A and B are shown apart, each in its own frame.
Chain A
Amino acid sequence: MNDNTHVRRSRYGRREFVLIMLGGGVAAACTPVRMGLRIYPEEFKFNNALVDETLRAYVLTVIPGLPEDTPDVTRPFYDELFGLGPYRGYLASDLCDRAERLTGNRSFAGLFYDQRALIVAAGMASGGVTTRLYNGSAFAVQIATYASIYDDGRGCPINEFEGRFTLKQMASVSDARFDRFVELTASGTGNPA
């Protein structure tokens, strides 16, 4: 046993170790079972700051250009609406595992954008439940961010969504000379027979 093996194995808790020793080794390699039984390193179960930092980096990879101080970016992972709560620890763990395999640096959040994008692309393409989790997470954070679902007044600077309507002059909405574009019409009333 070399030091690296020791370090990696030490991230699993007693419950996971017992499951693996009881023939759960195959199961532990199987993503749905690992998610369901929460078989991933302990630090992603109890270190909320680490999970949040990793997921924030995931969101900023899916939506680069989002201001760093944007509030609520990881809230979709805690929102029952999206059902991602039980899987956020696994996702954070998987991102960091992939970061370590790609760069030797286990901090996904510490990577450059291009490195993070490679990792997310690999997760999206890995097939099965992992693909569904990566896709579903991107889906949720895009909905939450672009539609500003947690704050009607904030909106999103990327797609210029204002969150809610603020009364505007009609001139800024329309073109008072509109009829010049519709001189030839099928009915003139909007209701051709």
Chain B
Amino acid sequence: MNPNSFDAIIIGSGFGAGPPALRLARAGLRVAVLEKGPEIVPKRDFRQTQDPNYLLEWYRGVDGPRFGMTYIEGLGGGSGFFEMVALRAPSQAFEQKWRGHRLWPAELDRASMDRWYGVAEEMMHVRQVAPESVPASGRVFALLLEKLGYSCERSRNAERGCVNSGFCVTGCIFNAKTGPLNSYIPSALAAGATYHCDATVTGIRPKRGGYRVNVTYGAEQRLSQLSAPLVILAGGTVGTARLLLESRRSLRVPEDHVGRNIAWNGGTKALGILPDDLPDGDMYVGRSVPGVITYDFLDSHGLTLFPVKALPLVVMASLRLRLEDDDPFWGEPHVELMRKIRRRTIGIYAMGFAPPAARLRLDRRGRLTTALDVTPELTDHYRRAHQLMADLLSRGGCRPVKLETVNREGMPHGHEHFGTTHQVGSCRMAERPEDGVCDPSGRVFGHPGLYICGGSAVPSSLAVNPCLTITANSERITAGILERLGIRDAPDDESA
């Protein structure tokens, strides 16, 4: 048996890669999973720290003049570092239209996706956060909404044994996250899949009966060539688009849509100083998304709102904070603000249906950059979100804190700059090749045996964290692959 020949090669190891790795291996196929980043063993590798050098081992960014995306390179993709929120996207997400066309294929809506959401939830042990596990910042958010006559509810998380340490974004040293790193990957390994870390795919080329995948391993850049009749791209919005752009000569995927139509949740934040009638929160202790969400503004504003906490590095490295416009961002006024930040501030985050207005491109030196069309719809989304949050804070008696985003030098961007970790859609599903890169079954148009399973296939923003939708969609696509291979596999609870 040729050790470089497999039945299926999966590129990426995160939320989109988990289902095909497990289901195909369990069906008896020889499966290789290629992960560009290093192996991660949570209890061995994770630290509770704000040391940027530690975080830069895993975190990667791609930026442009108006838009930046952050993602993870490491075993499990973002699942070691995500904030455990695992929500089904509301119906409105699937019904979004852009320039007169429904973004999701007609056959996909919330009702049809619920089955697959259920499978993903069981695999990742998704449960509603227990009342006694909602941290202080969640309580303050709930009280603010109650004061204003609104409701909120406990969110759903992929977790088991969370101790509320608050260091979700640095990786959980208590190994409490139940994303792919702790669910799909061990199950897939047990089923016989092989995982290759530090394995960078540099190109894909069609060959008779399948594809040849060029890989370099480790720092020494050892070259190898693997082949399989079935190749599944699950490297996320950035990784999959990058690979298809780099392989465009050998693979001839229509370039009109590769790297384009990137959507994100239009996440935007607001911060306020709490009034005396609201109790203390705690910006540092407790799960980093504090376990509650309100859907009260979904119909009226197209937004979900939830409280946010942030460890100091996240705040200091991305924002200038001031109470008054003419306050300096340093010195005594700033220190007075920082003395309040842990217990006497409330952070609110809004997510909604931002349009698919961003794109990735390779420059002449082979570097990825982003571009963004600042459309009226995008501007309107952010205006609505800012206005709503400012209104809630004001009516709740909170004193608003002015936030200004900064670049890597700490200088203000000088214009509106958008950033996200919730990017989807660089190689989106569509019913026709004129509208996307792959069909609703994940098959890349014109390339039999080549599939897209990850976030890059998801065609729209979701107004909630996309990880559960990415996983559910991947379960659905994987079931279709097995069906086309004539293999029956009834997904069930692997997480028990």
Where the two chains meet, the residues of A that have a C-beta atom closer than 8 Å to any C-beta of B are 61-65, 81, 117, 120-121, 124, 132, 135-136, 138-140, 142-143, 146-150, 152, 156, 158-165, 167-168, 170, 172-179, 181-193
Contact = CB atoms under 8 A, between A and B. Distances in A.
Given A135-B409, A139-B409, A190-B128, A170 B330 contact: no
B285 A132 contact: no
Interface stretch (B149-157, B213-221, B413-421, B431-439): B149-157
Contacts, number: 176
A135 B312 CA distance: 18
A121 B334 CA distance: 13
B167 interface: yes
B142 interface: yes
B329 interface: yes
A83 to B, nearest CB: 9
Interface residues of B, number: 70
Where chain A touches its partner, the secondary structure class is: loop
B410 A147 contact: no
A192 B295 contact: yes
B282 interface: yes
B343 interface: yes
Contacts of B52: 81, 143, 149
Contact of A176 (B131, B151, B311): B131
A193 B409 contact: no
B411 A143 contact: no
B313 A143 contact: yes
Contacts of B329: 138
B267 interface: no
A189 B117 CA distance: 14
Contact of B153 (A63, A138, A188): A188
B342 A160 contact: yes
Interface in B120-165: 128-129, 131-136, 138-139, 142-143, 145-146, 151-156, 163-165
Contacts of B155: 190
Give the interface centre of A160, A189, A190 by most chain B CB atoms within 10 Å. Answer: A190
Given A182-B151, A193-B91, A159 B339 contact: yes
B335 interface: yes
A185 B312 contact: no
A128 to B, nearest CB: 12
B224 interface: no
A174 B139 contact: yes
A132 B146 CA distance: 44
Q: Considering the complex of A and B, which 6 residue pairs feature the smallest CB-CB distances, nearest first? A: A139-B410, A185-B153, A147-B50, A181-B142, A165-B165, A164-B48
B313 A149 contact: yes
A172 B285 CA distance: 9
Contacts of A192: 90, 295, 298
Interface string B70-109: 0000000000000000011011000000000000000000
Nearest to B127: A190
Contacts of B276: none
